[in-house]
Amino acid sequence: MNLIIDIGNTRTKLAVFKGDELLNSLVSDHVDIESNIEKLYNTYQLKNCILASVTKFSPNIDKYKFNIIVKLSHQTKVPFINNYKTPSTLGVDRVALASAAAYQYPNNNVLIIDSGTCITYDFINNKNEYLGGAISPGLHLRYKSLHEFTSKLPLLEQAEYKLIGNDTNSSIHSGVLNGFVQEIDGVISQYQQKYPNLTVVLTGGDTNFLAKKLKSSIFAIPSFLLEGLNSILIYNLNE
């Protein structure tokens, strides 16, 4: 069994896989991660582990008796050809998403959209080549920037919106949320024009919200990043 540790900007996700099957997953604050790893280690017969972190924070996993520990970096072996110009600067989360696409949709043009703190767009073509993508502010960052870079606009949380806002709050919701959805639909359209038979995967914290709003046909897979990390671990086990 495999332990997957995904340390993001604001939270940590832990998962247990048996082969390709996701058995358990949980979200942890950084302060609780050590105790949660301990619980999973004592509950399951964990053999292997992969750790990916987009921050400098890293729990002590070397104390556990794993057969293999993969600490994901640009030097880790992955199941795709990385054509990113600066591979050392490519986030490990984006590497994991590309790996999931290569593993689950071989020989396809795949656009992965991960909506969290930031929106990342990652593209892997039907030759198994990762070409890159884009990074854009996520929903919370958009709300926060309107509040922090103006003198009077309030800080709001995500809510339902209407196209025409008739007060300050509803106008902010319309601008942020409608703009958010239109951006993603527009990016998908650009990729579809350039790459026929495009597969689009949506993941991240805003998956459920976006899946209901986007015009394009997508696969909504909230656990896609965890599945990608597991695929990297499996790939390294077989090397």
Q: Which residues carry out catalysis? A: 93
62 known ligand binder: no
143 known ligand binder: no
- The Cα-based distances of 62 to 37, 40, 59, 69, 138 in angstroms read 12, 15, 9, 8, 34
91 known ligand binder: yes
Residues 181, 119: Cα–Cα separation, whole Å: 11
85 known ligand binder: no
168 known ligand binder: yes
133 known ligand binder: no
What angle, rounded to 10 degrees, do the helices at 224-238 and 92-104 form? Answer: 80
142 known ligand binder: no
What angle, rounded to 10 degrees, do the helices at 139-148 and 179-194 form? Answer: 130
235 known ligand binder: no
Structure tokens, 217: 């046909």
Residues 147, 46: Cα–Cα separation, whole Å: 45
Residue set of the binding site for K(+): 114
Question: Which amino acids are annotated as binding site for substrate, given as ranges?
Answer: 84, 91-94, 168
Binding-site annotation, residues: 6-13, 84, 91-94, 114, 117, 168
Please enumerate, by residue number, every residue annotated as part of a binding site for ATP: 6-13, 117
